[in-house]
Amino acid sequence: MRKPLGAIALSIAAAVLLTSCGQGDTAAEGEGSAEAGTLVVYTNSNSEGRGEWLQAEAAEAGFDIEIVGAGGADATNKLIAEKNNPIADVVFGLNNVYYEQLKKEDVLEPYTPEWSGEVDESLADPADEKAYWPLVQQAIVLAYNADTVSADEAPKDWPELWTEDEYKDRYERVTGMGGATTQLVMAGILSRYREDSGELGVSEEGWSQIEQYFSNGVPAVKDLDLFARFAEGEVDFGQMPSSSIPGREEAYGVTSGAVAPEIGVPYAIEQVAVVKGTDQQEQAQEFIDWFGSAEVQGEWAQEFDSLPVNEGALEQTKPEVIEFDEQFTHQDIDWTFVEENLAGWVEKIELEYMQ
């Protein structure tokens, strides 16, 4: 009996040792966002090196930030779920629909940044006391592989993909509803079929469009990029936010085109805001002042082909980005209507149309 006792004593000692270091750790963990100066930033705009770039640049400017990345809708849900005990201090990159939702749920702390005069106020929070301010905007487009499809052959608008036989089974359709881009595409289609007496404000015709979108498309493959599939010739059409196009063209060696429907395309106006209940309000505000400034937004635009809202940053924006953007008109979407119904739409699509 002696020997096993010894072994067990040893393992207990090891366990105790682990916990004692552990407790130190958890004590620090418990403070969460209160940790000396670390700002927790939630965003959906951290891929393709954006997160790393921002973290490094912010560190140089004296901000210690930690980035938590998630899809637009997922990040929104997370913020709402955590509203009674927020982890995040700042949220940026989501589009106005989500910010409106966050504001309704009382997740945001109103703040007017130093650079508020340099941006078009109509793109910010419509309320008088503004809780969120715009950083960049981008068109959500239907992209096609220009190496195999000429501009004439490409469809003129989204619905052609599933109504015209020549496009069926050649476009990529989504397999999850958590992404901001996806939800905007859906909003862009559904709001064309607004009918107040219809299910969730949409006519039957509208829902049938969605059904056909799902039944005629090629399912997306998790983490296989649309442009990679262009290169492989698996699909020829699919959704894409405009700022992601140049980088991907280069990465996968394809040329792409974008469809410019007459009705216009949905625009994502990506915003920034302070999260309510942060214990580092001042820090968070300073970070927003820095990040939204003409200088940093200009660098961001240079690095990641974005189209900044800050007028001062436009000078540093790549001319081809501006040119690309000029071919589109803004689709006229009633954002209040979208915001009210989006959660219901997503749920219905998840349950009934997603296969």
Judged by the rule CB under 8 A, the positions of this chain that interact with other proteins are 1, 3-5, 7-12, 15-16, 18-19, 21-23, 25-26, 29-30, 32, 40, 66, 68, 73-74, 77-78, 80-82, 84-87, 175-176, 178, 219, 222-225, 343-344, 346-347, 350-352, 354-355
Least distance CB 264 / other proteins (angstroms): 28
Residues in a beta bridge with 43 = 69, 92
Q: Which is nearer to other proteins, 118 or 339 (CB)?
A: 339
Smallest gap from residue 260 Cβ to other proteins (A):
29
Q: Which is nearer to other proteins, 18 or 151 (CB)?
A: 18
Place of tokens 């540093």: 316
Terminal alpha carbon distance of the chain = 60
Question: What is the 8-class DSSP label of residue 220?
Answer: P
Instruction: Specify the residue, 82 or 303, whose C-beta has the smaller distance to other proteins.
Output: 82
- Minimum CB distance to other proteins, residue 6 (Å): 8
- Give min distance, CB of 97 to other proteins, in A: 14
Give, for 173, the enclosing helix (H) or strand (E): strand 172-173
Q: 298-327 in b/e burial notation, b at 16+ Cβ within 10 A?
A: bbbbeebbbbbbbeebbeebeeebeebbee
* Residue among 77 and 329 whose Cβ is closer to other proteins: 77
Which residue, 27 or 323, has its beta carbon nearer to other proteins?
A: 27
Supply 132's token pair.
């969120």
Residue 33 and residue 31: Cα distance in Å, rounded? Answer: 6
Residues 6+ apart with CB under 8 A from 291: 54, 58, 92, 135, 272, 297
Q: State the DSSP H helix or E strand holding residue 307, giving kind and residue range, or none if neither.
A: strand 307-308
Specify the residue, 169 or 350, whose C-beta has the smaller distance to other proteins: 350
Q: CB of residue 149 vs other proteins: minimum separation in angstroms?
A: 25
Question: Which of 154/177 has CB closer to other proteins?
Answer: 177
Shortest spacing between CB 15 and other proteins, in angstroms: 6
Q: Give 279's contacts (C-beta < 8 A, 6+ positions apart).
A: 33, 34
Alpha-carbon distances, residue 333 vs 97, 102, 135, 191, 328 (angstroms): 11, 19, 20, 7, 15
Q: How far is the CB of 277 from other proteins (least distance, A)?
A: 10
Task: Give me the amino acid identity at 276.
Answer: K
